[in-house]
Amino acid sequence: MTGSMPVPLRRLTTRLLLAVSVPLFLVTAMLLPVLHVHMETRINGLHTEARAVLKAGQEALTRDVNESLNSVLALAEMPALRHYLATHNTPTLIEQRYSLSEVTQLSHFLDTIISHHPRYTKLVLIDNQGNEVLRAPQSVAPGAQVTGRRHQEMDYFTEANKLLPRDLYLSSLGQDLHYELVDGDTIPVVNVSTPVFDAAGRRQGVVLLSLNWSYLTGALHQAMRLTHEGSALLVNAQGQWLLNNTTLPLGAAHFGVALATLAPAHWQAMAQRHQGFAVIDHQLLYFQTEDIRTQRYRSLAGNIYSDHVYYPWKLGVLLPKPTWRSLIDEETTVLWFLLLIYAVAVAFGVLWAISSQRQRTLRRAAQRHAIEVSDLYEHAPCGYHSLDESGRVVKMNRTELAWLGYSADEVIHRMAYRELITPDTRPAFDKAFRDVLEHKSGSAECSLLTRHGEQRHVMIQASAYHRNGRFVHSRATVFDLTERKQLEEKLREQAMTDPLTGVYNRRYLQTQAAAEIARSRRQHYAIALITIDIDHFKHINDEYGHDAGDDVLQAFTNTVIQLLRQEDLLCRVGGEEFAILLPNTPLAQAVQVAERIRQTVQTAPFKVHEARSERTLWLTASLGVTSVMAAESTLKAALKRADIGLYRAKEQGRNRVVVNDV
């Protein structure tokens, strides 16, 4: 007790304030970069999620619209439908050829199509004079603008009458909105029409198919799988809302409402660019342009016409922007951890202010804290490193060293970081490092080359550390993207492969064909294309079931593969339709390959499982053969020629090879 002096009140107060404020400031300064990185990671995750959701929505919209367009084209080419229209256009010549039973059968067939496809509301057959000759289903009213079942003044009839075979006209989701009463509800519809020609090329009328737009947009919502916090957006070129009634953070939206009125800032951001990203009123807006007239990857249509004023559309995703409050609310563990750190820091400060005897304890605590920080740096889940002005490594944590397979002595002050990056990604790293040297933040997605020759995909984010205005070293955080890259590659492979047969699909065929055509131009060799369709495949599904049909498709695929070379590419392009790309193959040799396939399929037994027994089926196939012209840059024209040959083979009795090289 001797020599101890009471601390003056003012001095004690000052020391207590310092003991509280200094630790709070230091801890905050230490945690802010970590929280900032965490926030950036969260935002990057939202970017990735939004891109995936937009891609899923685009594919769902394109798939449903293309399937509907193909259905219209298929109906327009039905012989029974053409014949029925011909009886109404020239009744004095053919009226006895179509009996009442045939009319009833055709009507029931069309009713079945509409009733089994909820995306359609009605199907109407119109003759050359605009008279309605058949409707499915009969219960659907013709509409307020159609009088006496006559359609001659409607846009879908007048515009379709101007088109060529396999051309389509789409009514616009724009100023003149079309609605129908379906199951007691008034819903918007999109009318799709196409002209009907007979075998001699004479125009016989128009086929009209109305699409249930509420159903299609409902499927779009399902494909995008948005949470309750996110919203999907779809507007036309005039900014009119094209989705069902939706409650958005910015207000209630119903079909046809102007987005410029509901959310002018959002519409202005979407109208100025084809695609992009914007932050508006604490919301993240991602959008891209969609045009169903041109983006028809699987459609068989020739040309698609509509009112260009209302195209293209804008598809978007609206997500709430993460805030520190929302981040802390979601990460309660982080909140408690922060509170614990602050509490400990304040407690140590108060103890230091009250008694100088606690100095040693506080120093030890600081040492332990420094060790923890160092351990956090060395064993963080991400890599850290620092480079000098020449790009030589001056510091690197153990996590990144373990990725590379080197020891610290082998790398630090001995290697330039650029030597650890694969040659093809060095330009991206060089640019990012130049940005750091120019007092800017730099980032690059690169591939690291490990000691054992393996590659590890990473994202590097770096900034410069300066002292007295001079560059000292860079500070970089390295995030491992290897698993994400592997997942992306796996998803890309799945997107290019038919899940049933294991062969590639139409998308991969078109992509690979473009590269093969370019190679053929350089090396001056021929390319041939074969399209195949299994004859009477629908009969197999109807009589033996779809499981038997799947067995046939798999066995058929294995049979054809055994007849091809390693460089030949077999793809499934439809239900029972296949295509074979034959590089370095003249047309005559391709015909021999097609004939060999036809004969093998004709003579090979195909076993299918039916209930508890096994049945042997005998199949035939029709094939179309053509050459890919030297002037063609894509496979579109060649596929069309080969399909024409295939259709001729069908018309000539099936089980044959037809060449169409014109």
Q: Which helix (H) or strand (E) holds 246?
A: strand 246-248
- From CA 82, how far away is CA 222, in angstroms rounded? 37
Cis before 320? omega within 30: no
Q: What is the pLDDT of residue 577?
A: 92
Q: Is 576 assigned a catalytic role? A: yes
At 628 the three-state DSSP class reads coil
Distance of CA 359 to the CA centre of its chain: 61
Contacts for 45-52: CB closer than 8 Å, 24+ residues apart:
46/284, 46/319, 46/322, 47/277, 47/286, 49/319, 50/277, 50/284, 50/286, 50/317, 50/319, 51/286
How confident is the model at residue 94, as a pLDDT? 43
pLDDT of residue 366: 63
> Which pLDDT does position 600 carry in this prediction?
94
- Residue 95 confidence class, pLDDT cut points 50, 70, 90: very low
Tell how strand 383-387 and strand 283-290 pair up.
unpaired
Q: Mind listing the pLDDT tens digit for each residue in 354-401?
A: 665 456 555 677 677 767 777 777 777 788 888 998 889 988 988 888
CA distance 629 to 300: 20
Chain segment 250-262, per-residue pLDDT in tens = 667 777 788 878 8
DSSP state at residue 565:
-
Q: Can you give the pLDDT at residue 339?
A: 72
pLDDT over 60 (residue 446): yes
CA angle 383–386–387, rounded 5-degree value: 130
Angstrom distance (rounded) from CA 626 to CA 645: 8
- Please tell me which residue, 119 or 148, carries the higher pLDDT value: 119
Q: What pLDDT was estimated at residue 598?
A: 93
* Lowest-confidence segment of 151-155, 170-174, 265-269, 427-431 by average pLDDT: 170-174
Q: Return the pLDDT at 614.
A: 81
Catalytic residue among 132, 159, 516, 576: 576
Distances (CA, A) of 124 to 173, 207, 655: 20, 6, 35
On the CB side of 96, CA atoms within 13 Å amount to: 2
| Res. 425: pLDDT tops 80 | yes
Q: How confident is the model at residue 595 (pLDDT cuts 50, 70, 90)?
A: very high
Among the ranges given (112-116, 296-300, 505-509), the one the predictor scored with the smallest mean pLDDT: 296-300
Count Cβ atoms below 10 Å from residue 386 Cβ, excluding itself.
19
Locus of tokens 């004023």: 309
**Dist CA 9 CA 7 (whole Å):** 6
Please report the pLDDT score of residue 96 as a whole number: 46
Q: What is the pLDDT of residues 554-594, one digit of tens each?
A: 999 999 999 999 999 999 988 889 999 999 999 999 999 99
pLDDT in tens, 435-444: 888 888 888 8
Residue 318 · residue 285 · CB < 8 Å: yes
Strand 657-659 relative to strand 621-627, pairing: parallel
pLDDT tens for 610-626 read 767 788 889 999 999 99
Q: Is the pLDDT of residue 416 over 80?
A: yes
